[in-house]
Structure 1
Amino acid sequence: MGLITGLLGLPLAPVRGTVKVAEVVLEQAEREFYDPDVIRRQLQEVDDALADGRISKEEAERLEDELVQRLMEGRRLRDEREGR
């Protein structure tokens, strides 16, 4: 980067920094959202809630479907990143 480019781009440095932080936060949030261990734990919580009578069978099926979708989407995203 040349001196002129550096000086002209200086006012944008805070914006670039904010964008980078936002990208890192999003990446971490996605990693946690699609984490297979987290999803398995949540599936177990749904099973426990159903067994305890805290949720209905229909609600348990809906939650399980959502969690399985997240698991599959997470695998798809991971495969895309790894070039599979």
Structure 2
Amino acid sequence: MGLIGEVLLLPFAPVRGSAWVIGQVLHEAERIYYDPATIRAELGRLEERLEAGEIDEEEFDRLEDELLDRLEIGSRNRAGTDDWTSG
């Protein structure tokens, strides 16, 4: 983009900067959400809650299925690209 384009778009710089920051935050949140280590830790805590009687088998199964789905989606995303977190 040339100098004139940059000058004309200067009033929109805060919006473009904010959009970039929001994109970076979303990217990092998705990386953490689908991180296998995070999901395994959550599975461990879930099992502890079941053993402590905080949740019943039905809720455990439902939550475990959600975590396993996240793990599968994260694995597919990583297998589909060399580095799916690079944006």
TM-score normalised by L of structure 1: 0.91
Please name the residue that 1:75 is paired with. Answer: 75
Identity of aligned residues (%): 48
Please name the residue that 2:34 is paired with. Answer: 34
Please name the residue that 1:9 is paired with. Answer: 9
Give 1:10's aligned amino acid: L
Structure 1 runs of 4+ off > 3 angstroms?
Answer: none
Q: How many residues align?
A: 83
Unaligned 5+ residue runs, structure 2? none
Counterpart-to-counterpart distance in 1, 2:17 and 2:80: 27
* Alpha-carbon shift at residue 82 of structure 1 (Å): 2.0
**Greater helix percent: which structure?**
1
Unaligned 5+ residue runs, structure 1? none
Measured on the aligned residues, the alpha-carbon RMSD in Å equals: 1.3
